[in-house]
Structure formats: C-alpha cells, structure tokens
Amino acid sequence: MRINSVGRFVAIAAVVFSVQGCGGSGADLPETVPVTGKVIFKGAPLTGAAVRFYREGASDRPAVGTTDSKGVFNLTTFNTNDGAQPGPYKVTILMVAKNGASTDKVAVYDPSSADMSQFEMPMSDEPESAIPAIYASPASTPLKQTVTESGPNDFKLEIE
C-alpha cells in the first residue's frame, strides 16, 4: 500500500511540474514595450544586420533584432518581438561580410537557397566588418536611444 501512495504522489508531482513548466512565466519577466526601427547605411537600408540594444547601467540581456530587406527591425528581449525594457540604451549594429568580400556586396542569409558555401569561413580568419567597427561594441558605439513606456519607440539609426 505504501508504494502505491508514493507512486501516486510522484505521478501527481510530475503532472504539476510539467504543467507549471521549468522557466519563468510571463508574469515573472520584466515589463517590455514594443521597439522597432530602421537602419540606414550610406543613405540606403542595411539588410541582414544584427541590432542590439544594451541597457545602460544594467547587466541584463540585450534586446536584439535583425534588419530585413528594407532595413527594418523589431526587437526581442524575452519573447519574439516583445521589444525592450524602458530606459536608456547603447545601440550596436554588426554586419559581417564574407572574408575578402566587398563591403558593398554582403552575403545575406537566404533560407530558400541550398548554397551555404557563401557562409563558410575558416575559423582562423578574422571576419571583415561590412560597416565601421565602431558600431559593433557597446564600449565604442556613438548610438544611443531611450525606450519609453509611452512610446512610440520607432528609431531611425543612420550610420556612415
């Protein structure tokens, strides 16, 4: 009888924990607000760039996004397109060109293409930045934005 009671307890506990989940619920996460923007490089939309917003004075995760063919991005912090927490940010933009490639012709991931050779690069090679390296690090970027609770948080980031 004792084994049967223990077995039931374990089964009930397993169901409770599987329904509850291992990660934090949405209520446990900090508040975020939608953040969108557009990256312009030398007067044209920048396609396929990684955009990161690092909250100033905080060591939490950055809000991240990738520009589309029109240079537009939506930020994600915890859940897809949830935006960023309100506050001041340093903004980084990283665009890596294939080693030796012209910075005017940057390889952009095309999921419909079976040819992945454009992305192959020996690990010893340093990637060539398609935009000035100053924008790649929170320590050097001159780009700053403030995300507000009331919005709108739609930023135009122009770089040369």
Tell me the C-alpha distance between 153 and 148, whole Å. 7
pLDDT at 26: 59
In this prediction the pTM is 0.68
pLDDT (mean) for 148-159: 97
Instruction: Using a pLDDT cut of 70, give the percent of the chain over it.
Output: 64
125 by DSSP, 3-state: which?
coil
Mean pLDDT, rounded, of the chain: 77
Which of 1-10, 23-32, 136-145 has the largest mean confidence?
136-145
CA end-to-end distance (rounded Å), the chain = 76
3-class DSSP assignment, residue 115? coil
| pLDDT for residue 126 is more than 70 | no
Between CA 63 and CA 110 the distance in angstroms is 23
Say whether pLDDT at 16 is over 70.
no
> Does residue 130 carry a pLDDT above 70?
yes
Amino acid letter, residue 111: P
Tens of pLDDT, residues 79-119: 999 999 999 999 999 987 755 443 443 334 344 444 444 44
Domains, the chain, in order of start with CATH, read 31-95+131-159 (2.60.40.10)
Kindly state the DSSP code that residue 3 receives in the 8-state scheme: H
SS3 assignment, position 15: helix
Q: Which residue has the higher pLDDT, 60 or 146?
A: 146
Closest-CA residue to 77 (of 56, 55, 94, 92): 55
